[in-house]
């Protein structure tokens, strides 16, 4: 079981209080440490844009709020 765990830097917890930001940082750390390809799951299905840096107030799931409103009048 011990091989299924990774250690993250302690400062991540205080530096990224938002759970979405922390999760993204942990995934980025994991991929950089273990050499696995980074898969961006934060993509707007309407415009194809990266939504990983967008504040959650402007997202609907992983889609831009603006795109959702435009496509669903």
> Are 53 and 27 contained in the same domain?
no
Per the structure, the count of domains in the chain is: 2
pTM above 0.85, yes or no: no
> Are 26 and 50 contained in the same domain?
no
Backbone φ/ψ region at 4: left (φ over 0), alpha (ψ -120 to 50), beta: alpha
Q: What is the chain's pLDDT, residue by residue, as a tens digit (73 residues)?
A: 456 778 888 898 888 888 888 888 888 888 888 776 666 788 999 999 999 889 999 999 999 999 999 998 7
Question: What pLDDT does 28 receive?
Answer: 85
Q: How far apart are CA 46 and CA 41, in angstroms?
A: 14
> Are 55 and 73 contained in the same domain?
yes
Rg, Å, the chain Cα set: 15
Question: What pLDDT does 61 receive?
Answer: 92
Domain hosting residue 24, numbered range? 9-39
Q: What share of the chain is helix, strand, coil (3-state, %, to 5)?
A: 45, 10, 45
> Are 57 and 71 contained in the same domain?
yes
Q: How far apart are CA 43 and CA 50, in angstroms?
A: 5
Domain assignment of residue 58, yes or no: yes
């Amino acid at each position: 079981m011990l091989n299924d765990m990774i250690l993250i830097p302690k400062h991540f917890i205080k530096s990224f209080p938002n759970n979405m930001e922390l999760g993204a940082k942990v995934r980025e750390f994991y991929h950089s440490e273990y050499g696995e390809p980074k898969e961006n799951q934060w993509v707007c299905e309407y415009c194809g844009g990266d939504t990983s840096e967008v504040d959650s107030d402007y997202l609907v799931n992983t889609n831009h709020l603006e795109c959702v409103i435009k496509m669903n009048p």
